[in-house]
Amino acid sequence: MGASIKERELHELILQKDDLAFAKLFDLYGEPISKYLSTHFSRFARQDERYVYEAVSDAFLDYYENPSAYDPDKSSLKSFLGLIAKRDLINLIEKEKKHFLRIELPEDVELQEIKWNNLKENDAATDSEIVQNELVELVEKELEKFFNSPIDLTLAKMVLSKERNTEVFAEILGIPHLSEDEVFREVKRHKDRIKKVLQRNGIEQKLRRIVK
C-alpha cells in the first residue's frame, strides 16, 4: 500500500525543505512509532527506553536528510519510518550485545580520549605506518562531519587526546590575554560544548568502531 494523500503532501514538503515539514512529521508519527517499537521490543525498552527514542530520532533524521530514498508508491510514510527505526533499534541492540560481551569499554568521552592517545602514542611502534595513517585519516574525516571550523576540529582532537592544559586551549581559542578566571571559564565552556557534540552524535562510539 502506497502513501496517503496527506503523507504525499508531507513528503513533498520535506523534499522542498519546507520550514515546518520536519516538525510536522514528528508531530504526526514520532509518538506512534515510538510506541510501536516499545511494544515490539518491550523487554529492551523496559531496560532503557532511550534506545527506542534514539532509533526513532535517527530514523526521522535519516529520512529528512535523504528523503529521495523513500518511494511513496511503494509504502506508506509511516511504515517506511517505522521500518528504518526498527532497523536502527535492532542495530543498537546488536551493538549493545557485542559491547557487553567484550571487555567493558569506556562510555564517557574522558575515557575514550585514552583510546585516541594510545592510537597516537603507538604510532611509531606499529608495523605499518600506512595503516595507522589511514586510521587517523578515517578518524579525522569522521570528526570533520561534525566540526565545521578548524578551531573546533582542533579542540575536538584535543578533548579526545585528553589534553588538560588550559593554556594550550587558551592559545587555540585566541584568549590568552584574558584573566585567569575568564580563561578557565571560556576554556571550560568550549570543552563542554565540544564534549556535548561528541556525545550527542555518538562520535565516541563511531571512533571506537574505527579504532577497533
Partner 1 sequence: MRNDKIKLLELTFKKVSDNPDFFAHFLCLYMEQLSMSQDKLLSDLSCDYESYLKLGLCRAPDILKLDYLKRLKNISEFTKTDVDNLNKILKEVHATKKLKRINYGQEYLTAARDSTEEEK
34 to 63: interface string for partner 1, x by CB under 8 A: xx--x----------xx--xx-xx--xx--
**Which 3-state string (H, E, C) describes the chain?**
CCCCHHHHHHHHHHHCCCCCHHHHHHHHHHHHHHHHHHHHCHHHHHHCCHHHHHHHHHHHHHHHHCHHHCCCCCCCHHHHHHHHHHHHHHHHHHHHHHHHHCCCCCCCHHHHHHHHHHHHHCHHHCCCHHHHHHHHHHHHHHHHHHCCCHHHHHHHHHHHCCCCCHHHHHHHHCCCCCCHHHHHHHHHHHHHHHHHHHHHCCHHHHHHHHHC
Examine residue 174 and tell whether it contacts partner 1 (CB under 8 A).
Answer: yes
Number of chain positions touching partner 1 (CB under 8 A)? 27
CB of 122 to partner 1, least distance (A): 31
Rounded to a whole number of angstroms, the minimum distance from the CB of residue 151 to partner 1 is: 9
Least distance to partner 1, CB of residue 87, Å: 17
Nearer to partner 1 among residue 7 and residue 58 (C-beta): 58
The most distant pair of C-alpha atoms in the chain lies apart, rounded to whole Å, by: 65
Q: Does 145 bind partner 1 (CB under 8 A)?
A: no
Site string (182-201) toward partner 1, x via CB under 8 A: ---------------x--xx
Give least dist CB 119 to partner 1, A: 25
- Judged by CB under 8 A, which stretch of 27-35, 101-109, 110-118, 119-127 contacts partner 1? 27-35
Q: Which residues are near partner 1 by CB under 8 A?
A: 17-20, 22-24, 26-27, 30-31, 34-35, 38, 49-50, 53-54, 56-57, 60-61, 146, 174, 197, 200-201
